[in-house]
A and B are shown apart, each in its own frame.
Chain A
Amino acid sequence: MSDMPANKTGEGAWRRRYSLLWPPALAAILILAAWELSIWLFKLPNFVLPTPQEILVAAIQDRGQVLHDTWATLVESLVGYVAGSVLGLGIALLFVTFPRVERALLPAYVTINSVPMVAYGPLAIIWLGIGASSKITLIIIAVSYSILINALAGLRSCDPGAISLLRTFGASERTILLKLRLPAAMPAIFSGLRVAVVHAMILAVVLEMLGAREGLGWTVFKSTQMMDFVAAWVAVGATVIVSLAIYSVVNWIGHKLVWW
């Protein structure tokens, strides 16, 4: 795997990208072929497994509905994600500044989160209804927790020598926090943000399956109940694509901001 420096540019980079891309592309073709072949060979009816074209055609035909559901799920997960991230980071800064508050509150936070968040779903629906607020609330709790744990680890990770050096130069606690601890914690915070965006999507979809008026999870649930299997596949496919897209965006922002 020794790369020549020239690989960074021009033909070399292209060739490297090509060598990375063709195996998964080949796998995709083989999987699609096996999919088609098994339907044809075993004469599978479309409630067992629809063909890829059937799914694609249905997705294009119902694109209005699919986009509407995608938008609903996206809004729930992103609102919850952003609010939860801000909250988690705020709590982490609070805990680092006042360790006594941390000692009192962190165990409670950990206890609440030791139950899979999904199990709170029915309760959230009873308390907050089947609208977006039940989904957003649980996403905020889950996301803030994973940001909190990562941020705490990150904020504590910096070199104690550097802290005492800054202190010797008369830096205030706040300066140390902003100039040293926060930058040092950025990689950990971003790895928390990456994991949390997946959690947010999972929770949005799963909670919609419990009860909702719109959204990809709701459509998956509704269409399986109504035996409309192609629609279920379309919604599952849309879920996969949307999640990959927002995960890539978060990843890309992370790489831009935390270049070190």
Chain B
Amino acid sequence: MSAPSAPVPAVPGVPGVAGNAAIQLIALVVMLAAWEVAVRALDVSPGKLPPPSAVFATMWSGRVALAGAVGTTLYEALLGLAAGIVFGVLSGISFSRFRLLERMLLPYFVASQAVPIIAFGAIIVMWFGNGVASKAVIATYLSFFPVAVNTLTGIRRVNPEEVGLLRTFGAGTMEILWKLQLPTALPSIFTAVRLAVGLAMVGAIVGEWFGASQGLGVVLLTAMFDNHVEQLWAGILLTGVTGTALFAAVVLLQRKFVWWHADG
């Protein structure tokens, strides 16, 4: 019942996140250079594939609007992610407490991970309107399920004898939860959060497709309708950078808070 594998576990055969980041950065630069050279050498029409220099020029001239778009999407994704984590952890805890609740609902939670629940996004936008709220709600429910499932599996990993021991020393339920169960579950919660970061970004962007005035999804969609390929690539690159930054932030937090657990 482990969570679906994280988006990028790590490049096999390359040690450490820092090494990975360096290699990715080099790969990115090499790819951009090859792209630029290929487009110029093969004389590809910029309407099909613009050279990166043209994309960066578009980004620079539209920097204010694009920064606003990144800000909006990031805000929606973060808001949704935060709510998803809070509700996810709370329901994971309730599942671990109330066996019947778990047996009633967990099968649906697990099944939800095998289903494009993002399709409900259209209905969510219908309910919550064109503003930030509907996107945040989509990001919330997408990130909620993996966090709930992994919180439960994490808490289940606690040795019952340790709970018994703490109880003998007079620890209350809340204290056991706070000092033993949640810390034990933290690595597995973080695994889910890493997955949830990507889901929240996708939720925010797809939510914007159903109706919004600002955001990366809007940039992508209007560029598609205007056949503005430079703008489209600008949107793609910014989406990648924003998502990667968010993911990196989670990895850093994980290292700070789960220093005892060597997992990426």
Q: Say if the beta carbon of B249 comes within 8 Å of chain A.
A: no
Closest 10 CB pairs between A and B?
A107-B27, A115-B240, A122-B224, A23-B103, A27-B104, A247-B114, A23-B104, A202-B116, A119-B239, A224-B122
Q: Are A115 and B239 in contact (CB under 8 A)?
A: yes
Least CB distance, B51 to chain A, in whole angstroms: 15
Interface residues on A, range: 35 or more
Least CB distance, A183 to chain B, in whole angstroms: 19
Q: Say if the beta carbon of A106 comes within 8 Å of chain B.
A: yes
Q: Say if the beta carbon of B57 comes within 8 Å of chain A.
A: no
Q: Are A220 and B9 in contact (CB under 8 A)?
A: no
Contacts A111-B27, A122-B220, A239-B116; A102 near B13 (Cβ below 8 A): yes
From residue 10 to 29 of chain A, which have CB atoms closer than 8 A to chain B?
20, 23-24, 26-27
CB-nearest residue of chain A to B120: A236
User: Which of A20, A119, A195, A209 has the most C-beta atoms of chain B within 10 angstroms of its own C-beta?
Assistant: A119
Q: Are B202 and A239 in contact (CB under 8 A)?
A: no
Q: In the assembled complex, which residues on chain A have CB atoms less than 8 Å from the CB atom of B125?
A: 224
Q: Say if the beta carbon of A229 comes within 8 Å of chain B.
A: yes
Stretch at the interface among A58-66, A80-88, A148-156, A252-260: A148-156
Q: Say if the beta carbon of A33 comes within 8 Å of chain B.
A: no
Least CB distance, A116 to chain B, in whole angstroms: 5
Contacts A118-B202, A198-B4, A236-B119; A153 near B12 (Cβ below 8 A): yes
Q: In the assembled complex, which residues on chain A have CB atoms less than 8 Å from the CB atom of B28?
A: 111
Q: Are B126 and A127 in contact (CB under 8 A)?
A: no
Q: Say if the beta carbon of A205 comes within 8 Å of chain B.
A: yes
Interface residues on B, range: 35 or more
Contacts A107-B26, A119-B205, A120-B236; A220 near B122 (Cβ below 8 A): yes
Q: Say if the beta carbon of B53 comes within 8 Å of chain A.
A: no
Q: Say if the beta carbon of A187 comes within 8 Å of chain B.
A: no
Q: In the assembled complex, which residues on chain B have CB atoms less than 8 Å from the CB atom of A152?
A: 12
Q: Say if the beta carbon of A51 comes within 8 Å of chain B.
A: no
From residue 104 to 149 of chain A, which have CB atoms closer than 8 A to chain B?
106-108, 110-111, 113-116, 118-123, 125-127, 146, 149
CB-nearest residue of chain A to B236: A119
0/1 interface trace, chain B 224-264, chain A, CB 8 Å (1 if under): 10010100110111011001100000000000000000000
Q: In the assembled complex, which residues on chain B have CB atoms less than 8 Å from the CB atom of A156?
A: 12-13
0/1 interface trace, chain B 117-153, chain A, CB 8 Å (1 if under): 1111011011100000000000000000000000000
Q: In the assembled complex, which residues on chain A have CB atoms less than 8 Å from the CB atom of B13?
A: 99, 102, 156
CB-nearest residue of chain B to A117: B202
Q: Are A126 and B220 in contact (CB under 8 A)?
A: no
Q: Are A224 and B123 in contact (CB under 8 A)?
A: yes
Q: Say if the beta carbon of B11 comes within 8 Å of chain A.
A: yes
CB-nearest residue of chain B to A127: B48
Q: Say if the beta carbon of B111 comes within 8 Å of chain A.
A: yes
Least CB distance, B235 to chain A, in whole angstroms: 7
Q: Are A114 and B12 in contact (CB under 8 A)?
A: no
Q: Are B123 and A233 in contact (CB under 8 A)?
A: yes
Q: How far is the CA of A19 from the CA of B47 in the complex (A)?
A: 61
Contacts A23-B104, A244-B111; A115 near B243 (Cβ below 8 A): yes
Q: In the assembled complex, which residues on chain A have CB atoms less than 8 Å from the CB atom of B48?
A: 127
Q: In the assembled complex, which residues on chain B have CB atoms less than 8 Å from the CB atom of A74?
A: none
Contacts A108-B31, A206-B206, A244-B115; A115 near B122 (Cβ below 8 A): no
Least CB distance, B219 to chain A, in whole angstroms: 9
Q: Say if the beta carbon of B82 comes within 8 Å of chain A.
A: no
Least CB distance, A224 to chain B, in whole angstroms: 4
